[in-house]
C-alpha cells in the first residue's frame, strides 16, 4: 500500500549512543563513519537523529554513503539548518518525507559530515526500514540533494511590514533533471513569536508564479528546522525555482534557507489511478464509492514504467438509495421456429363479494393441472389481436399498453355477466396474457409474461362472439373512478391545519425538490479578459478592444494606402501631428461588415496614414480587393489620433467594384471636442458611438447556484462599424458547469439588464468566451443577474397564528412545503434574515430555537407533515400583513400591534426533499432520483402524509415484482451523467395541480427520456443513448417479414428551432427562456421550423437545460424517420422498448440501403395469431448515418 507501511522502523545504532561524527574544516567533509556494518535486507533510510556537539545558526550536511571502508560512495546528502546546540527545546529526529532507498542487502552504510565552520552535532543515529512494505521510497538513481549545497548560500530578507512578501530569491536557476521537492530547511526568528509563510515559485525572475506555500510557526533556538511539503512535489527539468517569505512581525533578520529534494523524480504522475470502474455485486446498489486504498505494482525493474494495480479497496460512502427495484425478468424467450402457445388469465370481480371468478382462455384446448397457470385453458379465443407497448411521444405523453382478442360466446358466459347485477363489472376484470414455447408447455415450464391489464371494453357481436380490449393495469394508478388523478393530491384543509386563513383553504400543498434557491455559490467568479490577439476591454468609446472576428462572407480589403491631394478643405493644423489614418472594410450582400484592413487602433504604426503638408487638401484612400466573395460595398474610415489611439469620425461607402474613396474634409480636434460634425467630407457619414454596454460574468456551479458577478468591463459600439464584442473569461472556478455574462447599460450594473448570455463550461480551456454581435444572437432574457433574494414567495402560504406550547407565544406561520425540508433560508424584502433573530422574532428549521420548541425539523398536524417557519413581533406582523393579516383580526393574539407599518415580503430559499423524511437526511439532487421519489410519494403510486417515505409498491399477488424499475431510471441517470459530464440535478416547486399524465410528461421533457412499460410489466424510461450498442440485429429475408417494412418521415416532428423555458422563478412565476436553432438546417430547409416551447419544469441549471435541448434538437433538426417492420417469428419479443437494434435491408435509406443501421425501439406489437412481432424504431444517430 503506497504511503502506508507495516514495516517497523529500526534504529542504528540501537539501544546505544549514536556514532561519533566530526565535520571537516569549512565545507570539507570529515571522515566516513560506519553506521551499519552490513544491511540485513534491502534497506531504506527513513531519517536521522542527532545529538550533542556545539553549533549556532549553521548549515550542516550529512553525507550518506554505501560501500566498503575507503570505497564509500555517496547516495544522498541531507542539509539541515541547525539553530542552537544549547537548546533544551524540542525533539530532534528528522524523518524524511520520502525514505532514501536503493540500498541492497549486505551493504555497509556510513556517514560523514561537513558544515560552514566545521562545527556540528557530535553523534548521529539512523532510522531505517528493512524490506520496506511501502513503495513510497526512492531508488538508487534518485539522490537526496539540496539547493544551495555546500558553501552556496541563499538568504531571504523579510519585509519590515507584517505579512508583506520579501523579494524572491533564486534557489535553482534551471533544474538539471526532474526533481521531487521535499521541503525547506531554514532559519527561524530569534526573538519574536509569529507564524511564517514561504512561497515556492517558478518562472523567470520578476515573473514568478507561486507553486505552493509552506507555513510554520517560529521556534527559537531549536536545534534543527525543516518545514516539509505535504508530499513530494514533482518539478520538471529546466524549471527555475525561487522562494520568498512573509511573516507577522517587523523583524528583518535574514533567513538563510535551502531547498531539499531528490533528483530523478519524474514529474509525470504515471501511476495515478484516475478512473476506477466499480461493479456492484450486492443486490442493493450504492450511489457513490470512494477508492481509499490502492496498490500499484511496478512491472519494470526501473521506474518509470508500466504498473499494475494489484489491490483496490473500494469503500462505500453513501447509504443505499431510498428505492431499489431491479428490472424484472418477463420469463423464458419465445424466440425460434417452435410453435408458441398463448393464453389469457381472466379474473372477474363480483359485486359485494370479496371473491372473484377466474378463468383462462386460449385459442386451443390446453389441459393443464389446476396448479399450472389457472389450470385447463378453455378453447374460446377466436383470434388474438395485437399486444401493443410503446414509449411516450415526443411531447412526453404516454399511451397505455393494450391487448385485443375475440372470444366465442356461444355459451353466453360474458353476456350472462352483463345481465347479472352481481357480475356486471366485466370491464373491471384483470387480464394477464402469457405465451410459451410448445416444448416448454409440455414440460409445464415457466411461461413468458406478455401483458397485465384491466378490461377496458367488451363488445358483444351479432355472431355470438365478443371483442375484448384490455388496457395496461399500471394506467390504473393514474386514475380513480375514471377521473385522472392529480398531483399534489394534498390540499390545505382546516381538518389538518386548523386556524389557516380561508385564502389557504383548497390550495395545493407545495412539494419542493432539490435546491429551490437563488443563493449564490461561494466560489470565486471568473475573471473577464480580452485576448491579446484581439485586444482587451477598454474604458472609452474606442472600437479596438474586446472584439471577435466579424461574421462577414467577405474578407477585408488589403493594400490600403492614403495619399494627399489638392482641392479639398483638409488642413494640416487641424489634426494632431498633421496626420490622418485610414482603414477599409468590406460589406457583404446581407450588409454584414468584415474585419477592418488593420485590426488594432492602438498600434498606430500599423494603420495606413498620411502626413499632411498644408491646407486645402484631400485624402484619397485606395485598396486592393480581397479574394473570395466579392464585397457588395466597401467602407473607408478616416480619422486622426490622440492619446495613443486612432479615432475615426467619418466613413465613405462605395460600391464593390470601386477601390478608392476621396475625403475632401475632416473634422478637426476642436470640432470633435464640440461635437461639431459639420466638416465631414462630401458624401461621408458620421461614425456614431451610440451604444455602450458593460458586461459582468458569473459562473454557474453544478448544483445550479451562481457565483457573484465579476467586476464589470465596458465595451463600445461604433455605428455602422459594428463589431462583435467578445467577452472572454478565465479562472473559471472548479466545478462550474456554465458561465453567464450579463449585459448592462451602466457600469453600476443597474437593472434591468440588456440581456444575458450563457455558455456551457466543460473545463479549461474551452469555451473561453461569449460573443455579442449586438443583433441578439444567442442573447437570452428572463434571468436576473445573480443575487440571493429568496426564490419562493411565502406570501400566499401564510397559515395564520399558532400558539406554540413550548413558549406560550402566538407565532405567525407559513407553510413552506408539505414535507420536511433539508434546509430553509429566509429573506425579508430580499435581504437574508439575520441568523441571530432565530428564537427572538423568527423560527425556522435548522436553528436551535426551532429544535428547542418543536424537537424536530418539521411539524406534524393531524397526521400531515409540513415544513413550517414562524415569526412574531413587529417584523412578523409586517410579513404577515403582506399575506392579508390584519392586526385587529387576530382575536386573542397578544402580538398584534395596532400599527403594523409597511408590509414586508417573506421569501425563502429551500433545499427540499431529503431521503430521511424528517429533515435530517441527504438532499435528493439527482433529477432521476427525484422522479422515482415523486412516483412513489406524490405521483401515481402514493399519497404521502407523514412519517417515513412510502415504499415502492409491487405487483403481488399477480406478479412478484415491483412496479417501477429503478434500474431503468438509474441507467438513464448514469448515461446522462456521462454525456453531460456531471449529475443532472433537478429543482422545482410543485404548487399547481395537474394530472399525473401531465406531470409525467413534464418529467419526460426535463429528463429528455421516454416512458414505457417493459416486457415484465414495469414502468421504465429510455434515455436516447448515443453510446449504446445494439442488443439484437435484424436482417432482410432472414429476420424481416417481406412486405412489412414501412419507412415513415415524421414531418410533424421536424424542428430546426426549439424554444424552451427552465428555472421557474417561484417568486413571480417567470421562467428563464432560451432558444436553440440549427442554422444550417434552417438554411437547408429554407424555413425556421419552430417546435412548441419545451418547458423543462424540473431544471434550474442553464447548462443542463442547454444540454438537454441540444440533444432534442440533434434528433429533430433533420426530418426524423420511423421504420416499422415485422419479424418472421416472435424473436422481436427479445428486445424491449428503448433498446438499440440494428437493421440491415435494401429498403433502407442511402445508396446501399441500411447495413447494421442502429435504431431505437419505440413500439412493440406482438401478434400471437401469426407468431410475429412488429417493431417500430427510429434512428439512433440522426440524420441517416451509422455514426454520430
Partner 1 sequence: VPITLVADRQYTAPSAADGVSITPVSTAWTNSAYVTVLAATPSACVLTGLVVHTADGASSTVSYDAEIDIATGTAGAEVVIATFRLYNRRIVNAQWGPQTGLLLPIGIDNLAAGVRVAARLRKNSTSTTAWTVAITYLQKPLTGTYLTTANVLKALPPAAAGVTVTAGGSAWASGSWAQLRTASGAALVIVGVVFGAPSAGAEYELDLGTGAASSETVITTLRCTTGTSAAPAVVLLQLPLDNVAASIRLAARLRCSTASATLIVSLLVLELPL
Question: Residue 297 Cβ, how far from partner 1 at the closest point, in Å?
Answer: 8
Site string for partner 1, 173-192 (x = CB under 8 A): -------x---------xx-
Minimum CB distance to partner 1 smaller for 231 or for 657: 231
Minimum CB distance to partner 1 smaller for 20 or for 313: 313
Residues 640, 579 contacting (CB under 8 angstroms):
yes
Listed ranges 122-130, 658-666, 877-885, 918-926: which one lies at the site for partner 1 (CB under 8 A)? 122-130
Considering only 73, 88, 502, 1187, the residue that binds partner 1 (CB under 8 A) is 88
Minimum CB distance to partner 1 smaller for 6 or for 207: 6
Report 735-764 residues binding partner 1 (CB under 8 A).
735
| Termini Cα distance of the chain | 43
Question: Residue 872 Cβ, how far from partner 1 at the closest point, in Å?
Answer: 22
Residues 183, 260 contacting (CB under 8 angstroms):
yes
Any contact of residue 286 with partner 1 (CB under 8 A)?
no
Minimum CB distance to partner 1 smaller for 219 or for 372: 219
DSSP element (H, E) containing 663: strand 660-663
Any contact of residue 91 with partner 1 (CB under 8 A)?
yes
Report 500-529 residues binding partner 1 (CB under 8 A).
521-524
β 483-484/479-480 pair status: antiparallel
What Cα–Cα distance (Å) separates residue 981 from each residue in 763, 984, 988, 1022? 10, 9, 22, 19
Helix H, strand E, coil C: the string for 1037-1062 is CCCECCCCCEEEECHHHCCCEEEEEE
The partner residues of 437 in beta bridges, in order of sequence, read 340
Question: Residue 125 Cβ, how far from partner 1 at the closest point, in Å?
Answer: 6
E-strand stretches of 410-541: 430-437, 448-460, 465-472, 479-480, 483-484, 486-487, 511-513, 515-516, 527-529
Cα–Cα distance measured from residue 949 to residue 348, given in angstroms and rounded to the nearest whole number:
33
Any contact of residue 51 with partner 1 (CB under 8 A)?
yes
3 state SS of 856 = coil
Exposure string for 615-654, b = 16+ CB within 10 A, e = fewer: eebbbbbbbebbeeeebbbbbbbbbbbeeebbbbbbbbbb
3 state SS of 351 = coil
Minimum CB distance to partner 1 smaller for 137 or for 1167: 137
80 Cβ contact partners less than 8 Å away, ≥ 6 residues apart? 59, 60, 61, 62, 94, 185, 224, 225, 226
Question: Residue 926 Cβ, how far from partner 1 at the closest point, in Å?
Answer: 17
Helix H, strand E, coil C: the string for 138-151 is CCCCCCEEEECCCC
Considering only 25, 54, 89, 978, the residue that binds partner 1 (CB under 8 A) is 89
Cα–Cα distance measured from residue 992 to residue 750, given in angstroms and rounded to the nearest whole number:
33
Considering only 17, 254, 358, 674, the residue that binds partner 1 (CB under 8 A) is 17
Listed ranges 95-103, 167-175, 546-554, 1044-1052: which one lies at the site for partner 1 (CB under 8 A)? 95-103
Site string for partner 1, 844-883 (x = CB under 8 A): ----x-----------------------------------
E-strand stretches of 685-748: 685-686, 688-701, 713-719, 725-730, 736-744
Site string for partner 1, 143-162 (x = CB under 8 A): -------------------x
What Cα–Cα distance (Å) separates residue 276 from each residue in 294, 762, 763? 11, 21, 21
Any contact of residue 96 with partner 1 (CB under 8 A)?
yes
Question: Residue 227 Cβ, how far from partner 1 at the closest point, in Å?
Answer: 6
Question: Residue 154 Cβ, how far from partner 1 at the closest point, in Å?
Answer: 20
Listed ranges 146-154, 223-231, 492-500, 714-722: which one lies at the site for partner 1 (CB under 8 A)? 223-231
Nearest to 999 by CA among 398, 572, 287, 562: 398
Report 1087-1146 residues binding partner 1 (CB under 8 A).
none
Report 625-654 residues binding partner 1 (CB under 8 A).
none
Report 529-558 residues binding partner 1 (CB under 8 A).
none
Question: Residue 1116 Cβ, how far from partner 1 at the closest point, in Å?
Answer: 36
The distance between the two most distant Cα atoms of the chain, rounded to a whole number of Å, is 123
Site string for partner 1, 411-430 (x = CB under 8 A): --------------------
Any contact of residue 87 with partner 1 (CB under 8 A)?
yes
Size of the site for partner 1 (CB under 8 A): 101
8-state DSSP, 509: P
What Cα–Cα distance (Å) separates residue 984 from each residue in 760, 1070, 1071, 1120? 13, 22, 19, 26
Report 792-851 residues binding partner 1 (CB under 8 A).
848
Cell numbers linked to 481: 373512478
Considering only 28, 41, 71, 210, the residue that binds partner 1 (CB under 8 A) is 210
Nearest to 649 by CA among 719, 740, 546: 719
Listed ranges 168-176, 207-215, 463-471, 920-928: which one lies at the site for partner 1 (CB under 8 A)? 207-215
Any contact of residue 14 with partner 1 (CB under 8 A)?
yes
Site string for partner 1, 97-116 (x = CB under 8 A): xxx-----------------
Question: Residue 7 Cβ, how far from partner 1 at the closest point, in Å?
Answer: 8
CA 116 from chain center: how many Å? 57
Question: Residue 304 Cβ, how far from partner 1 at the closest point, in Å?
Answer: 5
What Cα–Cα distance (Å) separates residue 740 from each residue in 527, 576, 709, 1113? 12, 42, 9, 22
Listed ranges 348-356, 502-510, 733-741, 855-863: which one lies at the site for partner 1 (CB under 8 A)? 733-741
Minimum CB distance to partner 1 smaller for 271 or for 618: 271
Cα three-residue angle 821-827-830, rounded to 5 degrees? 135
Listed ranges 2-10, 416-424, 634-642, 897-905: which one lies at the site for partner 1 (CB under 8 A)? 2-10
Cell numbers linked to 672: 470633435
874 Cβ contact partners less than 8 Å away, ≥ 6 residues apart? 841, 897, 900, 901
Minimum CB distance to partner 1 smaller for 218 or for 1014: 218
Considering only 27, 34, 92, 1026, the residue that binds partner 1 (CB under 8 A) is 92
Report 287-346 residues binding partner 1 (CB under 8 A).
290, 292-293, 296, 298, 303-304, 307, 313, 315, 317
Question: Residue 229 Cβ, how far from partner 1 at the closest point, in Å?
Answer: 7
Cα–Cα distance measured from residue 585 to residue 601, given in angstroms and rounded to the nearest whole number:
14
Question: Residue 45 Cβ, how far from partner 1 at the closest point, in Å?
Answer: 12
Report 250-279 residues binding partner 1 (CB under 8 A).
265-267, 269-273
Question: Residue 821 Cβ, how far from partner 1 at the closest point, in Å?
Answer: 16
Considering only 106, 152, 231, 752, the residue that binds partner 1 (CB under 8 A) is 231
Minimum CB distance to partner 1 smaller for 182 or for 641: 182
Listed ranges 126-134, 454-462, 740-748, 752-760: which one lies at the site for partner 1 (CB under 8 A)? 126-134
Sign (positive or negative) of CA dihedral 474, 476, 479, 482: positive
Cα–Cα distance measured from residue 935 to residue 915, given in angstroms and rounded to the nearest whole number:
14
Minimum CB distance to partner 1 smaller for 180 or for 1017: 180
Grid-cell match 448570455, residue found: 757
Considering only 21, 23, 46, 794, the residue that binds partner 1 (CB under 8 A) is 46
Minimum CB distance to partner 1 smaller for 735 or for 745: 735
Grid-cell match 550542516, residue found: 60
Question: Residue 444 Cβ, how far from partner 1 at the closest point, in Å?
Answer: 50
Amino acid at each position: 500500500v503506497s504511503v502506508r507501511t507495516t514495516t517497523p522502523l529500526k534504529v542504528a545504532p540501537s539501544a546505544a549512543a549514536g556514532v561519533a561524527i566530526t565535520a571537516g574544516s569549512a565545507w570539507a567533509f570529515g571522515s566516513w563513519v560506519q553506521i551499519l556494518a552490513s544491511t540485513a535486507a534491502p534497506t531504506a533510510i527513513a531519517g536521522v537523529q542527532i545529538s550533542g556537539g556545539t553549533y549556532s545558526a549553521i548549515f550542516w550536511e550529512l553525507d550518506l554513503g554505501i560501500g566498503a571502508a575507503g570505497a564509500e560512495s555517496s547516495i544522498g546528502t541531507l542539509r539541515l539548518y541547525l539553530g542552537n546546540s544549547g537548546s533544551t527545546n524540542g525533539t530532534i529526529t528528522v524523518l524524511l518525507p520520502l525514505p532514501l532507498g536503493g540500498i541492497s542487502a549486505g551493504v555497509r552504510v556510513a556517514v560523514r559530515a561537513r558544515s560552514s565552520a566545521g562545527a556540528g552535532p557530535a553523534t548521529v543515529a539512523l532510522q531505517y526500514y528493512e524490506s520496506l512494505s511501502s513503495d513510497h521510497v526512492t531508488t538508487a538513481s534518485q539522490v537526496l540533494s539540496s539547493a544551495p549545497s555546500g558553501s552556496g548560500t541563499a538568504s531571504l530578507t523579510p519585509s519590515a511590514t507584517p505579512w508583506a512578501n520579501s523579494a524572491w530569491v533564486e534557489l535553482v536557476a534551471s533544474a538539471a533533471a526532474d526533481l521531487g521537492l521535499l521541503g525547506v530547511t531554514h532559519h527561524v526568528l530569534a526573538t519574536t513569536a509569529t507564524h511564517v509563510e514561504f512561497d515556492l515559485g517558478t518562472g523567470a525572475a520578476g515573473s514568478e508564479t507561486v507553486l505552493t506555500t509552506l507555513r510554520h510557526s517560529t521556534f527559537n533556538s531549536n536545534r534543527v528546522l525543516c518545514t516539509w511539503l505535504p508530499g513530494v512535489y514533482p518539478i520538471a527539468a529546466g524549471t527555475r525555482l525561487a522562494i520568498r517569505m512573509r511573516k507577522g512581525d517587523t523583524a528583518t533578520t535574514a533567513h538563510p534557507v535551502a531547498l531539499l529534494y531528490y533528483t530523478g523524480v519524474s514529474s509525470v504522475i504515471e501511476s495515478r489511478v484516475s478512473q476506477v470502474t466499480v461493479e456492484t455485486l450486492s443486490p442493493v446498489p450504492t450511489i457513490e464509492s470512494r477508492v481509499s486504498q490502492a496498490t500499484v505494482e511496478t512491472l519494470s525493474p526501473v521506474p518509470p514504467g508500466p504498473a499494475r494495480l494489484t489491490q483496490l479497496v473500494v469503500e462505500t460512502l453513501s447509504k443505499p438509495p431510498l428505492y431499489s427495484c431491479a428490472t424484472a425478468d418477463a420469463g423464458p424467450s419465445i424466440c425460434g421456429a417452435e410453435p408458441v402457445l398463448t393464453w389469457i388469465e381472466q379474473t372477474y370481480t363480483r359485486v359485494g363479494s370479496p371473491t372473484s371468478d377466474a378463468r383462462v382462455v386460449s385459442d386451443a384446448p390446453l389441459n393443464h393441472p389446476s396448479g399450472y397457470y389457472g389450470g385447463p385453458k378453455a378453447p374460446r379465443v377466436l383470434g388474438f389481436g395485437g399486444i401493443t407497448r410503446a414509449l411516450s411521444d415526443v411531447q412526453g405523453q404516454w399511451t397505455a399498453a393494450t391487448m385485443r382478442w375475440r372470444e366465442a360466446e356461444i355459451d353466453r358466459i360474458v353476456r350472462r355477466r352483463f345481465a347479472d347485477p352481481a357480475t356486471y363489472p366485466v370491464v373491471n376484470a384483470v387480464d394477464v396474457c402469457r405465451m410459451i414455447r410448445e416444448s416448454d408447455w409440455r414440460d409445464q415450464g415457466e411461461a413468458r409474461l406478455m401483458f397485465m391489464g384491466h378490461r377496458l371494453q367488451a363488445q358483444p357481436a351479432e355472431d355470438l362472439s365478443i371483442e375484448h380490449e384490455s388496457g395496461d393495469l399500471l394506467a390504473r394508478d393514474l386514475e380513480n373512478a375514471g377521473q385522472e388523478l392529480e398531483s399534489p393530491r394534498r390540499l390545505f384543509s382546516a381538518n389538518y391545519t386548523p386556524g389557516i386563513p380561508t385564502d389557504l383553504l383548497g390550495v395545493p400543498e407545495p412539494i419542493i425538490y432539490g435546491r429551490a434557491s437563488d443563493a449564490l455559490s461561494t466560489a470565486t467568479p471568473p475573471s473577464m479578459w480580452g485576448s491579446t490577439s484581439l485586444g482587451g476591454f477598454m474604458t472609452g468609446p474606442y472600437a479596438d478592444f474586446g472584439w471577435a472576428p466579424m461574421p462577414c462572407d467577405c474578407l477585408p480589403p488589403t493594400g490600403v494606402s492614403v495619399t494627399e491631394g489638392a482641392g479639398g478643405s483638409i488642413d494640416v493644423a487641424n489634426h494632431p501631428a498633421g496626420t490622418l489614418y485610414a482603414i477599409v472594410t468590406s460589406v457583404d450582400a446581407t450588409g454584414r461588415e468584415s474585419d477592418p484592413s488593420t485590426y488594432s487602433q492602438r498600434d498606430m504604426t500599423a494603420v495606413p496614414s498620411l502626413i499632411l503638408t498644408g491646407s486645402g487638401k484631400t485624402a484619397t484612400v485606395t485598396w486592393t480587393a480581397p479574394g473570395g466573395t466579392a464585397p457588395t460595398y466597401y467602407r473607408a474610415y478616416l480619422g486622426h489620433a490622440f492619446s495613443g489611439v486612432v479615432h475615426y469620425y467619418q466613413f465613405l461607402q462605395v460600391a464593390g467594384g470601386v477601390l478608392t474613396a476621396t475625403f475632401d474634409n475632416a473634422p478637426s480636434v476642436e470640432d470633435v471636442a464640440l461635437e461639431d460634425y459639420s466638416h465631414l467630407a462630401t458624401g461621408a457619414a458620421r461614425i456614431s458611438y451610440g451604444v455602450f454596454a458593460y458586461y459582468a460574468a458569473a459562473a454557474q456551479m453544478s448544483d445550479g447556484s451562481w457565483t457573484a458577478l465579476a467586476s464589470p468591463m465596458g465595451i463600445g459600439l461604433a455605428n455602422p462599424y459594428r463589431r462583435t464584442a467578445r467577452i472572454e473569461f478565465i479562472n473559471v472556478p472548479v466545478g462550474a458547469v456554465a458561465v453567464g455574462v450579463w449585459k448592462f447599460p451602466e457600469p453600476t450594473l443597474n437593472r434591468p439588464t440588456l440581456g444575458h448570455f450563457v455558455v456551457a463550461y466543460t473545463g479549461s480551456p474551452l469555451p473561453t468566451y461569449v460573443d455579442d454581435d449586438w443583433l441578439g444572437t444567442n442573447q437570452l432574457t428572463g434571468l436576473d443577474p445573480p443575487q440571493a433574494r429568496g426564490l419562493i414567495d411565502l406570501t400566499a402560504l401564510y397559515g395564520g397564528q399558532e400558539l406554540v406550547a413550548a413558549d406560550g407565544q402566538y407565532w405567525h406561520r407559513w407553510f413552506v412545503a408539505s414535507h420536511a425540508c433539508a434546509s430553509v433560508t429566509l429573506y425579508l424584502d430580499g435581504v437574508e434574515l439575520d441568523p441571530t433573530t432565530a428564537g427572538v422574532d423568527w423560527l425556522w428549521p435548522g436553528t436551535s430555537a426551532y429544535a428547542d420548541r418543536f424537537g424536530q425539523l418539521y411539524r406534524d398536524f393531524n397526521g400531515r407533515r409540513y415544513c413550517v417557519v414562524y415569526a412574531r413581533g413587529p417584523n412578523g406582523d409586517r410579513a404577515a400583513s403582506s399575506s392579508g393579516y390584519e392586526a385587529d383580526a387576530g382575536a386573542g393574539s397578544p402580538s398584534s400591534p395596532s400599527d403594523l407599518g409597511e408590509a414586508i415580503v417573506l421569501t425563502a430559499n429551500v433545499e427540499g426533499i431529503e431521503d430521511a423524511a424528517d429533515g435530517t437526511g441527504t438532499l435528493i439532487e439527482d433529477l432521476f432520483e427525484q422522479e422515482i421519489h415523486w412516483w412513489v410519494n406524490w405521483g401515481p403510486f402514493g399519497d404521502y402524509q407523514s412519517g417515513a417515505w412510502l415504499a415502492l409498491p409491487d405487483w403481488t399477488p399477480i406478479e412478484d415484482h415491483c412496479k417501477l424499475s429503478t434500474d431503468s431510471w438509474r441507467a438513464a441517470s448514469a448515461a446522462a451523467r456521462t454525456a453531460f459530464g456531471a449529475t443532472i440535478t433537478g429543482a422545482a416547486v410543485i404548487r399547481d395541480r395537474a394530472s399525473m399524465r401531465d406531470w409525467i410528461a413534464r418529467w419526460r421533457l426535463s429528463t429528455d427520456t421516454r416512458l414505457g412499460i417493459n416486457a415484465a410489466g414495469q414502468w421504465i424510461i429510455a434515455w436516447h443513448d448515443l453510446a449504446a450498442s445494439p442488443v439484437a440485429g435484424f436482417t432482410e429475408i432472414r429476420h424481416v417479414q417481406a412486405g412489412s417494412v414501412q419507412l415513415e418521415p415524421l414531418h410533424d416532428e421536424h424542428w430546426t428551432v426549439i424554444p424552451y423555458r427552465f428555472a421557474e422563478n417561484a417568486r413571480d412565476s417567470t421562467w428563464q427562456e432560451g432558444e436553440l436553432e440549427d442554422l444550417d438546417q434552417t438554411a437547408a430547409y429554407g424555413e425556421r421550423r419552430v417546435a412548441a416551447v419545451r418547458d423543462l419544469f424540473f431544471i434550474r441549471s442553464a447548462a443542463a437545460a442547454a444540454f438537454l435541448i441540444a440533444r432534442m434538437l440533434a434528433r429533430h433538426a433533420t426530418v426524423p424517420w420511423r421504420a416499422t417492420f415485422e419479424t418472421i417469428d416472435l424473436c422481436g419479443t427479445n428486445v424491449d422498448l428503448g433498446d438499440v437494434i440494428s437493421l440491415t435491408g435494401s429498403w433502407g435509406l442511402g445508396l446501399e440501403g441500411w447495413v447494421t443501421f442502429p435504431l431505437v425501439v419505440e413500439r412493440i406489437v406482438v401478434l400471437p395469431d401469426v407468431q410475429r412481432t412488429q417493431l417500430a424504431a427510429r434512428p439512433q444517430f440522426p440524420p441517416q448515418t451509422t455514426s454520430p
